């Protein structure tokens, strides 16, 4: 029998709800009004005609935890309402009409559990919470669908349990009413955000693994506003966390404690484009995809592209020195960023916004800020060298029998495709299976059960016939030599997008399993896949281990997934992965940064003298250490 969780909800309150759910998941104890006392004001009722889950679990049952007068057509007042769920032909589940409160929080229960090893469900005797959802604001149209599997899917995963336990630095002041009043004098009132719903989204990272408790989100509209904010915070010793699209994967973009969040989303203007040289100047809050679309109309492209392009901001990309899918062709942002405007901790606006290709006047200080993860300054404007858009793009999706074939294929591709090669991406069959079983509408162009490894090769050039002939000749030769077992070349833009969707969807699919331990390693090519196999052997049945990444750049993403975060499993993974990487002269952060997750691990990849110089630079630029504290560098270096 379904055991309803009784919850006299006053209204929606996400973080309290999350904690209550986490406690429920961890201890099995019922959620009660003592563990969950929501505070947010009531919102109007909306009819939500069609709630769809993206969860394939056929035993799903929905249960809404709600205020008695907010749920009609359902059980008796004060009791949770059970939503009936019916399967749809495409495998998703549909939940029939209910009146729900906007902002409503719900918990979906199921009577089975995902087996991460098999990727299938096993039956349980008891009901367990598997997903959480929230009714979104808006007209009751398709956009009102509750994407159960996506944003708030928590499949038996406890919030915050993976976060590092770092004490709050007592040297920091606590925010007070005078601070808020001051911020209201320098920013538009609506850009000083204390609203709990908006804060709860800004306090938690994309993976829902790291969670802070900031009480204030500031949305400056200009560099001068950023300068005034930082000047005040520095003089008051208020810690801050710079935030872009909040898509970072190492816990760098969210507060650890009560840091003030400064999000650059409103600084999203394009300042200029030099149409001869392709030099773009824009504000740091521009979303990467918007910049790409703007440039493509002008005959240029952004030199970087990544799966998070629809949310990440160029300032965040620069601050993490993001790599992504075009790195192989266009290289690091250290090469393509020509200039930056940065606001220092004390509010000084540092104008380094050059637009020159060559400029050797003194130290090139912009490089200090590229990849500094918001710990040295806030990037407010950028100047980027953008390559011309080339008209002919080809994409091949290939299967290989073993990793050695993938390595040889890379070498051959570099030799044979040379100047037109623009991406060489890699994933193992476990990554492929994960995407197919967790993402809606994703299909494989090749049978997934037959092959061990998959490679995506993209070429971009200026002569369609020449480029195609070149690629086809290369593919034919590689097949004859046995490097490729099977493959397809996309015939149109829809097919290309569907191939990319598989590769780009891996991170989204991996967070649906439950807990994901993510490692982003640079490794010598001959060692590239060894750690994936070792971890699979080491962890056996308890975890699902996948390997994918930017093989062309020597960058492996090792993801280890389990149903929930668990310190025993973590102890089997770390420090083993870091030691292994260090022993093989790799890097423990190829492109995601150190953030909170790896601040204490820097010594696996950097010498003590190098770390000391970093600490000295941090002390010089940010003596009060207000900028993104607890991140990037070990706390112990400052004691
Ligand atoms: P945030 O996540 O908001 O912040 C990241 C860091 O930068 C934080 O430390 C923050 O304090 C700091 N920061 C943000 N804005 C500023 C600013 N204006 N000034 C100073 N500091 C700032 N990364 C890759 O490298 N390659 C990939 O292929 C890739 N693919 C991804 C795919 C998915 C689906 C997801 C979710 C993430 C992916 N990432 C990838 C990670 C992430 O998208 C990148 O790190 C991205 O550059 C972060 O940008 P953001 O605007 O979201 O920054
Ligand atoms: C990727 O290459 O897909 C990204 O870096 C994201 C990830 O590793 O999950
Ligand atoms: Zn990556």
Per-position b or e across 90-122, b if 16+ CB within 10 A of its CB:
eebbebeebebbbbbbbbbbbbbbbebeeeebe
Q: What is the mean pLDDT of residues 317-345?
A: 98
DSSP per residue, 194-249: --HHHHHHHHB-TTS--B---S-EE--SSHHHHHHHHHHHHHHT--EEEESSS--S
- The answer to whether residues 314 and 335 touch, using CB atoms and an 8 Å cutoff, is no
Q: What is the mean pLDDT of residues 442-458?
A: 91
According to the model, what pLDDT value does residue 7 have?
Answer: 29
- The answer to whether residues 559 and 517 touch, using CB atoms and an 8 Å cutoff, is yes
Mutate to test the pocket of ligand 1, among 218, 260, 283, 320 (most ligand atoms within 8 A of CB): 320
Helices (H), strands (E): how many in the chain?
18, 25
Q: Judge whether residue 600 has pLDDT over 70.
A: yes
3-state secondary structure of 22: helix
Share of the chain above pLDDT 70, in %: 74
CA distance 25 to 20: 9
Is the C-beta atom of 248 inside 6 A of ligand 2? no
3-state secondary structure of 277: coil
- The answer to whether residues 114 and 134 touch, using CB atoms and an 8 Å cutoff, is no
According to the model, what pLDDT value does residue 15 have?
Answer: 52
CA distance 358 to 206: 38
According to the model, what pLDDT value does residue 449 have?
Answer: 78
Overall residue count recorded for the chain in this entry: 639
Q: Judge whether residue 194 has pLDDT over 80.
A: yes
DSSP per residue, 314-373: HHHHHHHT---TTHHHH--HHHHEEEEEEE-TTS-EEEE----S---SS--THHHHTT-T
Mutate to test the pocket of ligand 2, among 321, 507, 555 (most ligand atoms within 8 A of CB): 507
Q: What is the mean pLDDT of residues 165-185?
A: 96
According to the model, what pLDDT value does residue 107 have?
Answer: 53
According to the model, what pLDDT value does residue 266 have?
Answer: 96
According to the model, what pLDDT value does residue 125 have?
Answer: 52
Q: What is the mean pLDDT of residues 355-376?
A: 97
According to the model, what pLDDT value does residue 122 have?
Answer: 54
133-147, 338-352, 381-395, 433-447: least confidently modelled range? 133-147
Is the C-beta atom of 324 inside 6 A of ligand 1? yes
Of ligand 2's listed atoms, the one at least distance from the Cα of 507 is: 9
Phi/psi at 373 (5° precision): 55, 40
Higher-confidence residue: 20 or 598?
Answer: 598
107-116, 445-454, 564-573, 581-590: least confidently modelled range? 107-116
Is the C-beta atom of 285 inside 6 A of ligand 1? no
Phi/psi at 243 (5° precision): -135, 140
Ligand nearest to the CA of 326: 1
According to the model, what pLDDT value does residue 106 have?
Answer: 54
Q: How far is CA 258 from CA 60, 110, 216, 378, in A?
A: 37, 35, 8, 18
Mutate to test the pocket of ligand 2, among 434, 501, 557, 597 (most ligand atoms within 8 A of CB): 557
CA distance 240 to 262: 7
Ligand 2 centroid from CA 591, angstroms: 9
3-state secondary structure of 307: coil
According to the model, what pLDDT value does residue 164 have?
Answer: 55
Phi/psi at 351 (5° precision): -90, 105
What order of strands is seen across the sheet that includes strand 93-95? 51-53, 93-95, 85-87
State the DSSP code for 520: E
Query: pLDDT confidence of 514, banded at 50, 70, 90?
Result: confident
Query: pLDDT confidence of 141, banded at 50, 70, 90?
Result: very low
Ligand 3 centroid from CA 163, angstroms: 22
Q: Judge whether residue 241 has pLDDT over 50.
A: yes
Query: pLDDT confidence of 124, banded at 50, 70, 90?
Result: low
Q: Judge whether residue 23 has pLDDT over 60.
A: no
3-state secondary structure of 177: helix
Q: Judge whether residue 519 has pLDDT over 50.
A: yes
Ligand 3 centroid from CA 416, angstroms: 25
Mutate to test the pocket of ligand 1, among 205, 212, 244 (most ligand atoms within 8 A of CB): 244
Q: Judge whether residue 454 has pLDDT over 60.
A: yes
Is the C-beta atom of 323 inside 6 A of ligand 1? yes
Nearest CA to ligand 1 atom 16: 316
Mean of the per-residue pLDDT values for the chain?
81
Q: CB neighbours of 26 closer than 8 A, spacing ≥ 6?
A: 158, 161
């Amino acid at each position: 029998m379904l055991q309803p969780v009784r919850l006299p909800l006053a209204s929606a309150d996400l973080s309290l709800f999350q904690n209550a759910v986490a406690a429920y998941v961890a201890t099995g104890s019922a959620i009660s009004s003592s563990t969950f006392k929501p505070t947010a004001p009531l919102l109007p009722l909306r009819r939500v005609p069609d709630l769809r889950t993206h969860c394939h679990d056929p035993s799903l049952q929905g249960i809404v935890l709600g205020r008695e007068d907010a749920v009609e057509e359902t059980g008796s007042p004060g009791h949770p309402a059970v939503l009936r769920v019916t399967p749809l032909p495409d495998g998703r589940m549909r939940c029939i009409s209910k009146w729900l409160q906007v902002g409503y929080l719900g918990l979906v229960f199921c009577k089975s559990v995902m087996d991460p090893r098999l990727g299938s469900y096993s039956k349980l005797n008891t009901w367990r919470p598997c997903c959480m959802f929230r009714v979104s604001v808006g007209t009751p149209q398709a956009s009102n669908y509750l994407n159960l599997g996506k944003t708030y899917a928590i499949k038996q995963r406890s919030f915050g349990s993976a976060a590092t336990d770092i004490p709050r630095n007592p040297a920091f002041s606590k925010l007070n009413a005078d601070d808020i009043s001051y911020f209201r004098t320098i920013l538009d009132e609506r850009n000083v955000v204390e609203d709990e719903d908006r804060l709860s989204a800004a306090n938690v990272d994309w993976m829902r693994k790291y969670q802070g408790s900031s009480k204030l989100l500031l949305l400056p509209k200009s560099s001068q506003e950023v300068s005034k904010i930082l000047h005040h915070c520095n003089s008051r010793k208020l810690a801050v966390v710079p935030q872009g699209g909040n898509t970072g994967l190492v816990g760098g973009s969210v507060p650890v404690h009560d840091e003030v969040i400064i999000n650059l989303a409103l600084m999203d203007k394009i300042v200029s484009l030099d149409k001869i040289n392709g030099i773009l100047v824009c504000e740091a809050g521009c979303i990467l995809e918007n910049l790409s679309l703007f440039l493509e109309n002008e005959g240029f492209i952004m030199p970087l592209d990544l799966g998070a392009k629809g949310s990440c901001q160029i300032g965040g990309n620069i601050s993490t020195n993001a790599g992504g899918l075009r790195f192989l062709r266009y290289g690091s942002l250290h090469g393509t960023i020509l200039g930056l405007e940065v606001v220092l901790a004390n509010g000084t606006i540092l104008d380094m916004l050059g637009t020159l290709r060559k400029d050797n006047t003194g130290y090139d200080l912009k490089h200090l800020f590229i990849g500094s993860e918001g710990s040295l300054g806030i990037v407010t404007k950028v100047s980027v060298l953008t390559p011309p858009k080339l008209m002919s793009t080809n994409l091949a999706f290939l299967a290989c029998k073993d990793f050695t074939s993938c390595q040889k294929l890379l070498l051959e591709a570099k030799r044979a495709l040379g100047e037109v090669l623009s991406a060489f991406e890699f994933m193992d069959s476990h990554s492929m299976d994960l995407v197919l079983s967790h993402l809606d509408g994703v299909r494989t162009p090749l049978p997934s059960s037959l092959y061990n490894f998959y490679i995506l090769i993209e070429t971009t050039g200026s002569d369609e016939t020449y480029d195609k002939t070149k690629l086809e000749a290369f593919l034919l030769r590689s097949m004859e030599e046995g490097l490729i077992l099977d493959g397809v070349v996309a015939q149109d833009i829809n097919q290309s997008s569907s191939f990319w969707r598989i590769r780009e969807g891996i991170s989204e699919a991996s967070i649906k399993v439950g807990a994901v331990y993510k490692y982003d390693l640079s490794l010598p090519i001959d060692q590239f896949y060894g750690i994936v196999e070792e971890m699979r052997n080491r962890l056996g049945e308890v975890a699902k281990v996948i390997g994918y990444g930017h093989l062309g750049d020597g960058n492996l993403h090792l993801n280890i997934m389990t149903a929930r975060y668990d310190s025993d499993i973590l102890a089997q993974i770390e420090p083993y992965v870091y030691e292994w990487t260090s022993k093989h002269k790799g890097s423990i952060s190829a492109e995601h940064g150190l953030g909170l997750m790896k601040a204490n691990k820097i010594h696996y990849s950097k010498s003590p003298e190098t770390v000391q110089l970093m600490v000295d630079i941090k002390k010089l630029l940010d003596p009060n250490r207000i900028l993104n504290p607890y991140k990037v560098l070990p706390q112990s270096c400052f004691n």
